[in-house]
Structure 1
Amino acid sequence: MEYKQTVLYVEDNQLNMALMHHIFKKNLPSVRLLKAETAALGLQIARQKLPDLIILDIGLPDLNGYEAMDELKNDESTRPIPVLAISAFAQRSDIERAQKSGFSGYITKPFQVKTLTEAVEKLLAGIA
């Protein structure tokens, strides 16, 4: 299969990783999903592969999502890549912090598959 676009998913939870893999395979088959279990690995992959979109968990064990976002925005090569935050932190203050940090969107866990799929499609199409 030839992929049209690439998304990097940075997530430390194996069940969430498996769920996202299934969602992409079923609902976004033309999009290649790269995976990283730590922020450090995610940053390395982002710099090497320059994906079209990054989905970044906020609650990572090494760097949190905000720290990883700072790294992405401070790197000229990764700065233009839209980043979608995904987190169980669902307070209004969490969402506002993510917006101020430069995230292109924020999805709370547990999420609806349709909500996630639509957000990914919009960001990949450049509609944010």
Structure 2
Amino acid sequence: MKEYKRTVLYVEDNELNMALMHHIFKKNLPSLLLLKAETAEIGLDIAVRRLPDLIILDIGLPGLNGYEALEWLKAREDTRHIPVVAISAFALRSDIERARETGFAAYITKPFQVSAFTDTVKTLLA
């Protein structure tokens, strides 16, 4: 059984995006365990149980959106230290500024360059 150094939680409701991220991690970040959740509610449950080293959170989720999920994570003693990366198709400057002001560690716009994405992940886990 493979031993992973760090854990990343990816919260995304789109199956194709989830499959793409799985492929990116398998090929470019093989030492990281990728946990997956299809809703913010499931992701928050996993975050509390597993305490991942990094969370990648889609902004436009059904139910709780990414901003609401981040607020929930930052309000808890056990999860507030986890860096959270916003990932979204919302690419306006105002979207990026709002995410930074809200407390996201980084903001990635879809579609993204794989190398820039993996660099961001590596930097936040360093």
Q: Please say whether Structure 1 and Structure 2 have the same fold, judged by a TM-score greater than 0.5.
A: yes
For 1:67 and 1:108, the matched residues in 2 are separated by 19
For 2:63 and 2:11, the matched residues in 1 are separated by 12
For 2:116 and 2:31, the matched residues in 1 are separated by 18
The residue that corresponds to 1:4 in the other structure is 5
1:27-106 residue pairs with structure 2 within 5 A? 27-106=28-107
Superposed displacement of residue 30, structure 1: 0.3
For 2:98 and 2:32, the matched residues in 1 are separated by 29
Aligned residues: 125
For 1:110 and 1:102, the matched residues in 2 are separated by 22
> For the aligned residues, what is the CA RMSD?
0.4
The answer for unaligned runs of 5 or more in structure 1 is: none
Q: TM-score, normalised by structure 2?
A: 0.98
Identity of aligned residues (%): 74
Moved over 2 A (4+): none
The amino acid that maps onto 1:96 is E
The amino acid that maps onto 1:98 is A
The answer for unaligned runs of 5 or more in structure 2 is: none
Q: TM-score, normalised by structure 1?
A: 0.97
The residue that corresponds to 1:122 in the other structure is 123
